[in-house]
Structure 1
């Protein structure tokens, strides 16, 4: 009897400063001085493309954060992606877009332009944003209420899609003796609802992919519902395989209940430390953990749990935290922290080290074979369709992954050896959508 073929996984690179470990920028070998150099990002994207990754992804934020605490943001992501698209050929390029702070026309126009510039490789991660410090940079006294933000996001996605569909694929004729574009194939959308008044049509022709790929990452009930309604791919937070399986099943069932037949690949965040031996990999992890200032770590934890923990005893057990259903902040990361505390029963100092890279996402430490084993375990047991890699350091951790883990996955038939298409949709196995009729 023939053995079952391994499931092909998706791999995405989550770009963030010098890496996702909060102390990565402090390391003597970090490239922190290059964070304003576009070539730094281009080189990392080229490295990920050499590894045949589906895409590279930038999160985004709208406040400066604690500037003493290293690199939060430097170059604006959509601008950066425009340059990176010219330095790469196949790899997808994804950025967060805030439905709270952008308008649909602005977002649709920029993303459509980038899709044309890149040859059809753009995706967007739709978020509602989180923090009052961001809101106060955009004319709000504080963030709108959680449910209100998600209602706006739902309408935002609807309007952006209508704008992309306001041009039919064959609208442009380039007839020098007649029409540049057929006016009958470029139509207003006349959207008028609670949050947005948008006449349209868009002033950029329909994107190469029809629509840039819509990613979503919500873990709350409203976030899952938004994902089920409109997400084409999903970033997730999962501390371990049981947590990943529970989220995977919930979202897949919700997508099916909506009558959708789309694949909607789910990619949990993954932090990896790769070594030729397990001891070498653990030494790499310790090297970064030892660079971590406790004061900075406590500030990060305080942001995640929405309370001041600066006076907590480092070597004592973590104080009891409120249950998830009474927590008013972002629930995905908070539920992960609760799970770590319940499972590992760490001291506060141990919890800070665990959160230092990736904030509680799954962490795999070991040889290429050990990490490949674990990745396959998740993908073959309905925990993930792939992973959103969160390298603890850049570019060093992603070099380790591309040079050692990718060949191991390719040897097993779990990851592509080359790209089979030219667009992000092709990499993700997603169909190109047809125009829908705007009402």
Structure 2
């Protein structure tokens, strides 16, 4: 099958599951954070299903830290309080897989470019060209305080810093030409000095000499993943991203977002095919429609009001929503310094559907604004086919509601249906993540800022 005619699929790892109440379901694994065997099992299932990648979300703080500090019992409902560091997980998984791409999150706000460049270049070599870097600028004030800062850097400045950060990282990755490492024993030449380059970067945020001491990987450099959907986020993604992860709840939203990002990429001197749009997609699956509906309703019944409030509190701009009637409307909210697009989705969804605080909280607790569907494997495949065939996306980042069933249902029931329809591969096309995603070799792109 040709890459351009088949959708791309990545499995998202939000331990202990992507649905806020999934971890409470009968049969949900208790070991998704602390038992590495679970990670290995999921990775192998994804590879057996020929998925493009296993994608690890990550962060550097517990969201309801202020509640923990006050010993508020509501904090106990936050299901993502415990996660392990993604960049340490994926090289271990590279040893037990051979084709599956492995994507980890790394922040540009609380890291140094040389460190990120070295770690991901090493992972890309270990995995033989299967690594991806999910470039984020971080969302939470709590993260700033874990790195010695009183306040989180302002939203737009974070993206300016991220641009320079990316340029330094890619400059370091370009330190070594493909054939620079000689290991010529006869002539005592370990490397070709003409093919290793000193960066000498001097910028607003970073001064980095280089070169990197890790040679080039089989795919040139790791895949770049980006999830920003604000104006600055879209500009950054258009210039640098190979894969964009987004939250689009309707086909119309996703089509508009995809068209906009690809147009911005073209304005940056790139091909529209050089950037893959893969929105989050949470399928709740049953072998019959009745079973799928029952599965969905059971999940929804386990969401508590405290969970609903915590799910939207980080988009409230410091407003304490617990002081408002749960069955009343969202109050006016100041713009947050973190996830501005997700806040906008929350506000617009609540207004469009006339949702109360409780209702929009439950909506975000279930899927954080991503597209949640329930149905049989064929019904789920119908929705995916419609989005893909209408140009609303190039594929999907699958959000399993909980482990292991979410992974098992999708890989065992939906993937075969997509394969029967000719919408997804039956064998990997290449050896590297870049090859399997159908991406061109990495090239430098013009910096063109498109008006938001």
Shorter-chain TM-score category? over 0.9
Number of paired residues?
429
Q: Which region of structure 1 is more displaced relative to structure 2, 65-74 or 376-385? A: 65-74
Among candidates 277, 291, 302, match of residue 288 of structure 2:
277
2:213 equivalent in structure 1: 203
Structure 1: distance between partners of 2:167 and 2:112: 12
1:314-373 deviation digits (Å, cap 9, x = unpaired): 3x24334449xx555422212222332234323333323322222110111111111111
Q: In the alignment, is the contact (CA less than 8 A) between 1:274 and 1:281 conserved in 2?
A: yes
Among 240, 248, 251, the alignment partner of 1:238 is 248
Correspondent of 1:310 among 302, 322, 335: 322
Aligned to 1:225: 235
2:399 equivalent in structure 1: 390
Contact 1:239–1:340 at 8 Å: present in 2 too? no
Residues 257-266 or 368-377, more deviating: 257-266
Instruction: Give 5+ residue unaligned stretches, structure 1.
Output: none
- Aligned counterparts, 1:134-213, within 5 A: 134-177=143-186, 178-213=188-223
Match of 2:143, SS state, is helix
Structure 2, unmatched stretches of 5+, are 65-74, 446-452
Tell me the alpha carbon deviations over residues 276-310 of structure 1, each in whole angstroms, 9 at most, x when there is no partner. Answer: 22221121112122222211221221112333211
Q: Deviations over 1:166-222 (max 9, x none)?
A: 111101111123111112211211001111111000011112211101111111100
The 8 Å contact of residues 4 and 438 in structure 2, kept in 1 or not, is answered as no
TM-score computed with the length of structure 2 as normaliser:
0.91
Q: Distance in 2 between matches of 1:88 and 1:331?
A: 36
Q: What is the alpha-carbon distance in structure 2 between the residues aligned to residue 327 and residue 35 of structure 1?
A: 29
- 1:27 counterpart residue number: 25
Q: In 2, distance between residues paired with 1:115 and 1:269?
A: 25
Match of 1:87 in 2: 96
2:351 corresponds to: 342
Partner of 2:434: 425
C-alpha displacement at 1:100, in angstroms? Answer: 0.4
Look up the SS of the partner of 2:341 in the other structure.
helix
Which residue is equivalent to 1:366? Answer: 375
| Higher deviation after alignment, 285-294 or 113-122 | 285-294
Superposition pairs of residues 291-330 of structure 1, within 5 angstroms? 291-306=302-317, 307-314=319-326, 316-322=327-333, 328-330=337-339
| Distance (whole Å) between structure 1 residues aligned to residue 368 and residue 332 of structure 2 | 17
